[in-house]
Amino acid sequence: MEFTVQEIAALVGGRLVSNSGLETKVHGVASLSEAEPGEITFFGNAKYITQLKTTRATAVLVPADFAETISALAICVENPSLAFAQLLQKFAPEPIRFLPGVHPTAVLGKNVVLGENVSIQPYVVIEEGVQIGANTLIGAHGYIGHETHIGQDCQFAPRVTVGARCQVGNRVILHSGVVLGSDGFGFEFAEGKHVKIPQTGIVQVDDDVEIGANTTIDRARFGRTWIQQGTKIDNLVQIAHNVVVGKHCILVSQAGVSGSTKLGNYVTLAGQVGIVGHIEIGDQAIIAAKSGVSKSVPPKEIFFGYPATQIQEQKEQLACIARLPKLYARVKKLEQVSDSQQKSSFPES
């Protein structure tokens, strides 16, 4: 696939900084540091300005207010990263497509209902009473538990497990190793041993959710563990029983949310965030990476640290900690002066 710079600007709704080179051909995409002549890249973060000035790319997508002088042809757009993603689809190989139908090695239970153009790949097991909507793909070695309902246009990668009675909406993407509906971690200590508490609820995943590889979402003790519309969950995330994750949240790798906690809409959990159970994270709150959250977080706040507090407070505490060595040295010097003064006030007889 090949486009002129002018055609690319039109494709992404961009504005060319210069009127020269409009017919220059572009045949591929690459990063700032790896791009070669004939390729296009993007600049969306100021820390990469040095790479931008030395890139060999023919063209670069830059922010709308970009004012630097560079050797590449600059195309101004509102969001360079998003515009670049649009171009990736133009230059990428054709997507792999799976034919509709049920592979001969798949095992289907009684009363399974499949919509039009469903694709069931090799060695899939679908238990009794399952319903799967039109155009959905179930990847190889997948397991769909009894009476589960799955919507239309979903994509389940190989080795996805969905437990009994779970509810999955439309256009849901589950990557390899995802487990929906494993038992919640519920035990009571009685008579010197841990007694298992039955986990009788379900997992509900709403429309347009994407869940990364090897992420696990536990079924509720009763009721539902609920992932609401548009939320995107990274690889290796743990969601415990009866958690509610609101609409359009972002949960980054290795985050963990303990039981019965509620996340509002548009919440962001950065990498390795841990949240205790039975608290609430308000709408549009952001929890910075490696934070441990032990109490509820108000809407629109940014929390950081362990235990997590409002980020400005945490920065002030970190600044104080960073100054401790100098403070220690000052105190030590003052102690030496004090000792010297005391000795001079009480000379030895």
The reported pLDDT for the residue numbered 1 is 81
Q: Measure the N-to-C terminal CA separation of the chain; round to a whole number of Å.
A: 98
- Cite the DSSP H helix spans in the chain: 5-11, 49-54, 80-91, 311-322, 324-345
Work out the number of other CB atoms within 10 angstroms of the CB of residue 344.
Answer: 8
The reported pLDDT for the residue numbered 333 is 86
The reported pLDDT for the residue numbered 335 is 83
| Catalytic annotation present for 248 | no
Q: What are residue 148's DSSP bridge partners?
A: none
Exposure string over 145-163, b if 16+ CB within 10 A, otherwise e: bebbbbbbbbbbbbbbbbb
User: Which one is catalytic: 149, 241, 248, 278?
Assistant: 241
Whose CA is closest to 125, among 144, 104, 110?
144
3-state secondary structure of 82: helix
**pTM of structure:** 0.87
User: What is the dotted CATH code of the domain comprising 102-311?
Assistant: 2.160.10.10
Rounded Cα distance, 20 and 337, in Å: 73
Q: What is the DSSP string of 21-68?
A: TTT-EE-EE--TTT--TTEEEE---GGGHHHHHH---SEEEEETT---
User: Do 62 and 75 meet the contact criterion of CB atoms below 8 Å apart?
Assistant: yes
Was domain 3-91 assigned CATH 3.40.50.2030? Answer: no
> Which tokens sit at 120?
């069931």
Exposure string over 75-88, b if 16+ CB within 10 A, otherwise e: bbbeebeebbeebe
The reported pLDDT for the residue numbered 21 is 86
Rounded Cα distance, 99 and 121, in Å: 9
Rounded Cα distance, 322 and 92, in Å: 48
The reported pLDDT for the residue numbered 332 is 87
Whose CA is closest to 157, among 178, 127, 128, 181?
178
Residues 6+ apart with CB under 8 A from 277: 240, 258, 259, 260, 261
Residues 6+ apart with CB under 8 A from 149: 130, 131, 166, 167, 168
Taking each helix axis from N to C end, the angle separating 324-345 and 311-322, rounded to the nearest 10 degrees, works out to 50
User: Do 130 and 147 meet the contact criterion of CB atoms below 8 Å apart?
Assistant: yes
Dmax (CA) for the chain in angstroms is: 106
Question: Omega of the bond prior to 347 within 30 degrees of 0, cis?
Answer: no
User: Do 225 and 207 meet the contact criterion of CB atoms below 8 Å apart?
Assistant: no
- Strands 73-77, 15-16: pairing is antiparallel
> Which tokens sit at 138?
């179930």
Per-residue pLDDT of the chain (349 residues; tens, 9 = 90+): 899 999 999 999 999 998 888 899 999 999 999 999 999 999 999 999 999 999 999 999 999 999 888 999 999 999 999 999 999 989 988 888 999 999 999 999 999 999 999 999 999 999 999 999 999 999 999 999 999 999 999 999 999 999 999 999 999 999 999 999 999 999 999 999 999 999 999 999 999 999 999 999 999 999 999 999 999 999 999 999 999 999 999 999 999 999 999 999 999 999 999 999 999 999 999 999 999 999 999 999 999 999 999 988 888 888 888 999 998 888 888 888 777 777 776 666 5
